[in-house]
Amino acid sequence: MSIAGFDATAGAGILADIKTFEQLKVYGLGVISANTFQTDCEVRRVQWISIEDIIEQIDMLISKFSVNYFKFGILNDSNSFDVIRDFILKKNSKAKIIWDPVLHSSSGFSFFNQGNESISSILKGIYLITPNEHEFQALFKSEQYALELSYQTYIYLKGGHRLNNVGEDVLYAKGNCYTLLPNQSGIVYPKHGSGCIMAAAITAYLALGFTVDIACDKAKRYIEGVLTSNSSLLGWHSI
């Protein structure tokens, strides 16, 4: 299940997640957390869905379908995040939640208000988080703290925004870090929604039974296919 925003370009958010799930042969259910007014390069405004409506959507679906993997996209604030996370885990204690922490759009629009809640508290019950470099620094401040929290939650640092070693991703797991090198087989073009697609691909591969390290590596190869698919900001999904 993807719990994410509706992006009319289908480059990011729930539409991108569902396209990724379909390509990777898992069936995706979708719950909308927000309606975004945007293009592939500008976010004008966001119309947030109430927590009550999000919970009702989730409840209806998991009452009928067996869902064990959940991918979180944009959510309004840490309170909404906590309520949704706790509801899912109460309904299914074995659920694995993958969070793509979209804090700001590329154009600078703010999405997630953390308030005064610590990242360690927010991550309770979260299986894996997929920040980019800017989000990693904002949430964890240092690699040492990320290593400490990796005993609680897997942390996958996406390397597309790194100043050094661009394209090298890092998986923090149980106090260790593992580097995933980029594929050098083609020209990589920036893509709107690449973080959403990456997290959705990891979720799909986990649902297919792959271990975290292999799921992350296979997801990295999937997003590289999208990044090399054309020179525009909107990519093609294909295996």
pLDDT mean over 165-188: 87
Per-residue pLDDT reduced to its tens digit, 89-133: 999 999 999 999 988 876 677 889 898 899 999 999 999 999 999
pLDDT at 144: 96
Whether residue 81 is predicted with pLDDT greater than 70 in this model: the reply is yes
CATH number of this structure's domain 2-227:
3.40.1190.20
Residue 6 CA to chain centroid, in angstroms?
14
The predicted pLDDT at position 118 comes to 94
pLDDT value at 160 more than 70: no
Sheet holding 169-173, edge to edge: 43-48, 30-38, 2-6, 69-72, 96-99, 128-129, 154-157, 169-173, 176-180
